[in-house]
Amino acid sequence: MVNLDNKRPPLSYRGRFAPSPSGLLHFGSLVTALASYLDAKHHHGTWLVRIEDIDPPRELVGASSEILNTLEAYGLHWDEDILYQSQQSQHYQQTLQQLADKQLTYNCQCTRAQIKKLGGIYSSICRALHLPATNNATRLVNNVGIFEFNDTIQGQYIGDQSSAAEDFTLVRKDGLFAYQLAVVVDDIFQNITHVVRGCDLLEPTLRQLSFFNVLNVKAPIYSHIPLAVTQDGYKLSKQNKAPAINNKNPQPALIAALHYLGQNPPEDLIFEPVESIIKWAISHWSISKITQKKEIAI
């Protein structure tokens, strides 16, 4: 069970890669997986894989096992059992219960369209209504509203204050656990000390920091790498069907990912086996070589 009442003791480095199985890995997700793996291994840390399968309607059948095959083909071997969020419901419920006991959650009937009509920021209007959980969302009483943090790559990030102070959703209207709830409970559950992921999650980090604060748990250190976008500025994503990377010939994409991350691999490394490329990359890894941009067109 997650102990929410104690600050965690200092831990040795524990990182994670947390793909959603809504599609196969593309170049952008390879870059994220590689960066989090190399940062963990360079610091003699533990690297975990967590499958974020809490949204069955968006899941692609077979994607979880394909993602794991791809990671192995690219030499990214995880250190402990894979954590599947679909198996974590009990932990999410426990956290929700602890928050409810402290009156830190409430149910909300507002639809996305209604909130959009009223300016896009939720007004906390349902806090006083004491609505039932059924057919309603559950929101966090966000009295913290952290709106800035220091990212090891992006530097000081300052977000929109009213958005950061919003009472965000922990359980969706359809009853599914929300990403913010699951990601924070699992980062605590897995004792994650360092999160390396894409810049698309910079803004959500503020909510996660507020949530860690409400739970009275020390948050991990965050590093957000530039998001890989297409030449016309679209995010490479599973949703827009970015091409999956090739498991049979991993060297070219691995070398391209190292260039993307500013690591300057020697020219002839591409002819080496995957294990040698990874070995070189761990020992030469320098996070400070990653450009402080939010996007890179590839």
By the 8 A CB rule, do 85 and 54 touch? yes
- Centre a 10 Å sphere on the Cβ of residue 196 and count the other Cβ atoms it contains: 26
The single residue among 4, 100, 131, 201 that binds ligand GLU, judged by CB under 6 A, is: 201
Residue 182 or 214: the one with the smaller Cβ distance to ligand GLU is 182
By CB under 6 A, tell whether 19 contacts ligand GLU: yes
Nearest to 70 by CA among 25, 34, 36, 20: 25
Q: Report if residue 53 touches ligand GLU, rule: CB under 6 A.
A: no
Q: Which stretch binds ligand GLU (CB under 6 A): 13-21, 68-76, 90-98, 148-156?
A: 13-21
Q: What is the 3-state secondary structure (H, E, C) of 192-208?
A: CCEEEEEHHHHHHHHHH
If one counts every other C-beta atom within 10 angstroms of the C-beta of residue 159, the result is 18
Asked if 197 is part of the footprint of ligand GLU (rule: CB under 6 A), the reply reads yes
Smallest gap from Cβ 289 to ligand GLU, in A, equals 21
Q: Which stretch binds ligand GLU (CB under 6 A): 17-25, 41-49, 156-164, 289-297?
A: 17-25
Query: Does residue 49 bind ligand GLU (CB under 6 A)?
Result: no
> To the nearest whole angstrom, how small is the minimum distance from the Cβ of residue 62 to ligand GLU?
16
Here's the x/- map for ligand GLU, 227-266, by CB under 6 A: it reads as ----------------------------------------
* Integer Cα distance of 298 and 104 in angstroms: 44
Span of 12-20, 37-45, 59-67, 267-275 interacting with ligand GLU by CB under 6 A: 12-20
Under a CB-based contact definition with an 8 Å cutoff, are residues 33 and 207 in contact?
no
How would you list the strands of the sheet with 46-51, edge to edge? 83-84, 46-51, 14-17, 194-198, 221-225
Q: Which residue is listed with tokens 């709106």?
A: 147
21 touching ligand GLU, by CB under 6 A: no
Contact residue for ligand GLU among 183, 236, 242, 258 (CB under 6 A): 183
> Considering the complex, what minimum distance in angstroms separates the CB of residue 78 from ligand GLU?
14
Rounded-to-10 torsion of CA 98, 203, 27, 45 = -50
18 binding ligand GLU? (CB under 6 A): yes
Task: Determine if residue 155 is left, alpha or beta; phi over 0 gives left, psi from -120 to 50 gives alpha, anything else beta.
Answer: left
Burial of 58 (0-12, 13-18, 19+ CB in 10 A): middle
Stretch that binds ligand GLU, among 18-26, 64-72, 156-164, 280-288 (CB under 6 A): 18-26
**At its nearest, how many Å lie between ligand GLU and the CB of residue 204?**
8
